[in-house]
Amino acid sequence: MRLLNRLNQFQRLWQPSRGKPQQVTVAEMASRCFCSERHIRTLLHQLADSGWLHWQAAPGRGKRGTLQFLTTPDAVRSTLMERVLNKGQQQNALELAQLAPDQLRQALQPFLGGQWQNDIPTVRIPYYRPLEPLRPGFLAGRAEQHLTSQVFSGLTRFRSDCPLPEGDLAHHWEVTGAGCCYDFWLRPSLWWHNGEKLTAAHLVASLGQLMQQPAMGQLFASVSGLEAPAPGLVRIRLHRPDYWLPHRLASYCSHLHYPEIAATPGAAGSPGKPAEPHTGCGPFKISLYQPELVRLELHDRYHLSHPLIGAVEYWITPQLFDASLGTSCRHPVQIAIGEQAQLPALQPRDKRISLGFCYLAIKQDGQLSARQAQWLMHLIHQSGLLTTLPVEDGLIQPSNALLPGWPLPDNRRCEPVALPRALTLLYHLPVELHAMARQLVSYLARYGCTLTLRFHDAKNWAGCNDMDGADILMGDRLIDDAAEYTLEQWLRCDVLWRAVFSPGRYREIITRLDAIQQHPDAAQRIQGLKTLYEALMSASVLTPLFNYHYQIHAPPNVRGVHINARGWFDFTRLWLPPPENR
């Protein structure tokens, strides 16, 4: 990139005196810039014409002239970044911002928040870590889950102000065959981000590939067949009724990616078409997905209401962290649309207590008896342990219910009982669970119990090989839209429960869930789930520990900021007023 090279050369000239006037020869400057004397004279003329410096040569070969600087490399970088961003050249801006994290945050500060760039209303969000690939199925990160919902669509979808799923790619659906056949009638004009017309056959292929994943296979265990009997019809057949099916299809994990198209049998030279992992048909398409920058742009052929925002960018500015806690130890539930250091100057736009929670689960048929498990739960909730965690003020709130209206069992009169002399606790991110684990070590030591800690460096239990050796497990459960259904999905699909229960007991739980899903009435299904979870909490299998205070801060010109169940905000509702000088 020519601009970056010129900036680097200017930086080399500026650095020896830190911008103070210099008495220097042409040869010395050529040596600094690793070029010929002829080229350095051309460069000095170019930099002078740009208004960056003034060069007054002295008569005579090898004489020292006067080099004066009219600006700084940081100011030049900022000017150049603004110029290329106004032209929509994000890749050039990224190359110009090749700085250490702290310097990068400073360089980006003028461009974060909401701005009109190249006549496109753009929101830029600083983010603390690179984003993982948006693969089909379950994702660990809260940000990736939210991003999936902005890039991909499902047959159905959740809307934040409605507890029931509604049509997305499907205009509507019909249920026949005593709940064993679902016909989803597609909207008439659907397009992938790559410009290809979306068909029912595409969706059948994408759903089929999704259900081949083990966890997604469990989620759709009742599905017996997928068909596209007509151009605008997707038919899903079940071998037992599942009235959660529209909810399952609306969850972010079931949003559909462009499928891998198999070759036509017998067709010469037809190798098939590979999957396009970041191609969907949601409101935004991905134009750039790099460790330093992710850019979303409006999908012009989106099938629902078009957002008023034209682009959203994540500028990745890594923060310092404790390496012993893993690469994703920070858990930023307080999002700033703008530089975090400017949080006091940003306006608090929305806040809520998360429905999601950090939890503690006790392995059944392990070292802890039922009475010991109950006593441990009593100690955690009645000792004040959760109110004294060394975490940032205003970040968490001790839980008093699994969900609103699903209160914890009252065990205030629990009889004391001796705990085992040694126990093992396994936990994963977020970092608040590290503080909780340390507190438990010192607290249980008072009761003669030595607690050994094991840390799984991830946001969920996927790939964890230490679960069989743990007596206690702690993790984080995100709760999405349709909170009760999310708990059904958790119990059905999370590998946690295979570690907590014996194989026979786990099969009983799944059988219970299969019976609950067959109730056509949503209230009956929810009551069945509530009864099941109340039994698990009463048996001291599970208890929530604390919820989070979700908060979003934004500049005054970023409108339509409404926090959702994940603690993020729907990009389709954002808008920026046009600049006043237009």
* Structural domain includes residue 229: yes
Long-range contacts made by residues 569-573, C-beta under 8 angstroms, separation at least 24? 569/335, 569/350, 570/150, 570/160, 571/123, 571/150, 571/283, 571/284, 571/296, 571/307, 571/309, 571/312, 572/150, 572/283, 572/305, 572/307, 572/309, 573/307
Same domain, 304 and 450: no
- The residue with tokens 């979808």 is 157
Decide: 491 and 536 in contact? Cβ < 8 Å: no
What pLDDT does residue 297 have? 95
Question: Could you give the number of structural domains in the chain?
Answer: 3
We report the CATH number of the domain holding residue 48 as 1.10.10.10
CATH number for the domain that contains residue 372:
3.10.105.10
For residues 328 and 139, the answer to whether their CB atoms sit within 8 Å is no
Strands 293-298 and 401-403: unpaired
Three state DSSP letters for 99-160: CCHHHHHHHHHHHCEEEEECCEEEEEEEECCCCCCCCCCCCCCHHHHHHHHHHCECCEEEEC
- Domain identity same for 560 and 526: no
Query: Does a structural domain hold residue 290?
Result: yes
How confident is the model at residue 109, as a pLDDT? 61
The last residue of a domain, from among 44, 76, 108: 76
The pLDDT of residue 98: 62
Q: What pLDDT, on a 0 to 100 scale, did the predictor assign at position 330?
A: 40
In a domain, 320, yes or no: yes
Same domain, 315 and 217: yes
- Looking at the fold, whether 429 and 445 belong to one and the same domain comes out as yes
Angle between helix axes 73-86 and 2-14 (nearest 10 degrees) is 170
- Rounded Cα gap, residues 334 and 348, in angstroms: 10
What three-state secondary structure class fits 433?
Answer: helix
Is residue 393 located within the same domain as residue 501? yes
pTM of the model: 0.84
Q: Is residue 390 part of a domain?
A: yes
Residues of the domain holding 63: 2-76
Q: How far is CA 147 from CA 264, 279, 571, in A?
A: 34, 13, 9
User: Do the bridges between strand 293-298 and strand 542-554 make them parallel or antiparallel, or are there none, so unpaired?
Assistant: unpaired
Whether residue 373 is found in the same domain as residue 411: yes
**Is 111 within the bounds of a domain?**
no
Which of 476, 480, 493 is closest to 213 using CA atoms? Answer: 493
* Whether residue 568 sits in one domain with residue 505: no
Q: Is 199 in the same domain as 304?
A: yes
Q: Which residues pair with 182 in a beta bridge?
A: 175, 236
DSSP character at residue 559: B
Task: Tokens for 64, please give them.
Answer: 């020292």
Tell whether 271 is covered by a domain. Answer: no
Residues 478 and 570 in one domain: no
Query: Side-chain half-sphere of 210: how many Cα atoms within 13 Å?
Result: 29
- 8 Å CB contact between 437 and 425: yes
Give a yes or no: residue 113 inside a domain. no
Distance CA 288, CA 293 (A): 7
What does the pLDDT read at residue 327?
A: 36
Say how far apart CA 418 and CA 425 lie, in whole Å.
18
Does 224 lie in the same domain as 249?
A: yes
Say whether both 434 and 543 belong to one domain: yes
Same domain, yes or no, for 325 and 376? Answer: no
Which of 122, 120, 123, 144 is closest to 134 using CA atoms? 144
Tens of pLDDT along the chain (582 residues) come to 577 788 888 888 988 888 899 898 888 888 888 888 888 889 999 899 888 889 888 887 778 889 998 888 878 877 777 777 766 666 666 666 665 555 555 555 656 677 887 788 999 888 888 899 999 999 998 899 999 999 999 999 998 777 789 999 999 999 999 999 999 999 999 999 999 999 999 999 999 999 999 999 999 999 999 999 999 999 999 999 999 999 999 999 999 999 986 544 454 444 455 556 789 999 999 998 988 889 999 999 999 999 889 999 988 876 534 434 333 334 457 777 765 555 556 677 788 899 999 999 999 988 999 999 999 999 999 888 888 888 877 889 999 999 999 999 987 778 889 999 999 999 998 889 999 999 999 999 999 999 999 999 999 998 898 899 999 999 999 998 899 999 999 999 999 999 999 999 999 999 999 999 999 999 999 999 999 999 999 999 999 999 998 888 888 888 888 888 888 889 999 988 887 765
CATH number at residue 179: 3.40.190.10
Tell me whether residue 449 is in a domain: yes
The separation between CA 145 and the C-alpha centre of its own chain, rounded to angstroms, equals 5
